[in-house]
Amino acid sequence: MNRFVTLIAMAFGLVFPGAAGAQTAKDLVGTWNQVSNVNIRQDGSRADIFVPGSKGVIIFESNGHYANVTLNAILPKFASGNRNTGTPEENKAVVQGSLAHYGTYTVADKVITLKVEGSTWPAWTGTDQTRTIISFTGDEIKWSLAASIGGTTEVGWKRVK
Amino acid sequence: MDVAFSNLGSIAYFGTYTVDEPSKTLLFKIESSTYPNQLGTEAKRVISSLTADELKYTNTTPLGAGSSITTAFKRAK
């Protein structure tokens, strides 16, 4: 029985070599660019949110603070040239195509907990948001979360050097 | 109407920055922004005061929002 369990563990190690690591907040410190963003809906279908032109960054600081800005779209410029006088369509494109939040973070048991101090998605402000680490290789990380648009989302990041 | 209000109440952008010490200016190279007109632009901020824990700078050419905007920050510890 013990041998069987060992074989299973070895098999998982071979299949998911990236699953190790990222045990402490120190592993995350730095600047990361978003490279993928896939939403998995309740019916199991997958939608690639990271369309061409998407950009995202998350910065984890050694003092426990983080900031994240994500734009999952190429947003049309405001015709008025004034961000306070966007048309309803221009404003809608911004709100639906972007998300920014900041606060502090901790890492435990392969789960990153973001204590959100402020967010452009107001429902997150003042809440804890968790990210489950799926894989980590030092310079690449992928995590999953309950998506603000429904279902779950898997987001991939690459360390900026 | 909620959408319009939400845009008025926030802005987020990211990219890289440099500081020119002689002219006390901070230059943001904006890679992306929730205000699309800023995308790919450079934004200059004139540093009016800087201590170890406090920073104050002025945007002398704000995009359609008055003649200048001064913003103050306190270092998070």
Per-residue pLDDT reduced to its tens digit, A39-76: 999 999 999 989 888 999 999 999 999 999 999 888 99
Residue B4 CB partners (closer than 8 Å, separation 6+): A86, A88, A91
Predicted local distance difference test score (pLDDT) of residue A147: 86
State which residue of chain B sits closest to A103, comparing Cα positions.
Answer: B76
Q: Per-residue pLDDT averaged across B25-52, rounded?
A: 94
**Contact B76/A at CB under 8 A:** yes
Helix (H, G, I), strand (E, B) or coil at B52: coil
Predicted local distance difference test score (pLDDT) of residue B5: 44
SS3 content of chain B, % helix, strand, coil (to 5): 15, 50, 40
Helix (H, G, I), strand (E, B) or coil at A2: helix
- Reported as a single tens digit per residue, the pLDDT across A115-151 is 999 999 999 999 999 999 999 999 999 999 988 788 9
For the record, the structure tokens of A19 come out as 């699953």
Using an 8 Å CB-CB cutoff, list chain B residues near A52. Answer: none
State which residue of chain B sits closest to A54, comparing Cα positions.
Answer: B32
Selecting from A69, A71, A82 the residue whose C-beta is nearest the C-beta of B64 gives A82
Residue A39 to chain B, least CA–CA distance (Å): 21
CA-closest candidate to residue A77, choices B41, B4, B38: B38
Residue pair A36/A50 in contact (Cβ under 8 Å)? The answer is: yes
- Within 10 angstroms of residue B33's Cβ, the number of other Cβ atoms is 26
Using an 8 Å CB-CB cutoff, list chain A residues near B12. Answer: 69, 98, 100, 120
Q: Per-residue pLDDT averaged across A28-44, rounded?
A: 95
Residue B34 to chain A, least CA–CA distance (Å): 6
Residue pair B53/B47 in contact (Cβ under 8 Å)? The answer is: no
Q: Is B34–A120 a contact, with Cβ atoms under 8 angstroms apart?
A: yes
- Reported as a single tens digit per residue, the pLDDT across A18-27 is 445 557 899 9
Predicted local distance difference test score (pLDDT) of residue B9: 83
**pTM reported for the whole predicted model:** 0.83
Predicted local distance difference test score (pLDDT) of residue A12: 47
Q: Is A94–B63 a contact, with Cβ atoms under 8 angstroms apart?
A: no
Predicted local distance difference test score (pLDDT) of residue A63: 95
Predicted local distance difference test score (pLDDT) of residue A21: 59
Residue A7 pLDDT class (50, 70, 90 cuts): very low
Q: Is A86–B7 a contact, with Cβ atoms under 8 angstroms apart?
A: yes
CA-closest candidate to residue B7, choices A103, A122, A55: A122
Predicted local distance difference test score (pLDDT) of residue A149: 80
**Contact B67/A at CB under 8 A:** no
The question of ipTM being above 0.90 is answered as no
Amino acid letter for position A36: S
Residue A107 CB partners (closer than 8 Å, separation 6+): A22, A23, A24, A25, A27, A28, A113
Q: Per-residue pLDDT averaged across B50-75, rounded?
A: 87
Predicted local distance difference test score (pLDDT) of residue A117: 98
CATH number 2.40.128.280 given to A19-159:
yes
For B:25-64, CB contacts with A below 8 A are: 31-37, 39, 63-64
Amino acid letter for position A35: V
**Contact A88/B at CB under 8 A:** yes
SS3 content of chain A, % helix, strand, coil (to 5): 25, 45, 35
For the record, the structure tokens of B55 come out as 């920073």
Domain ranges of chain B: 2-74
**CA-to-CA separations, A50 to A56, A110, A116, B6, B27, in angstroms, rounded:** 9, 24, 23, 23, 28
Residue B7 has pLDDT above 90, yes or no: no
- Reported as a single tens digit per residue, the pLDDT across A69-113 is 999 888 999 999 888 889 999 999 999 999 999 999 999 999 999
Question: In A104-121, which positions are buried (b, 16+ CB within 10 angstroms) versus exposed (e)?
Answer: bbebeebebebebbebbb
The residue that leads in pLDDT, B68 or B13, is B13
Highest mean pLDDT range out of A152-161, B55-64, B67-76? A152-161
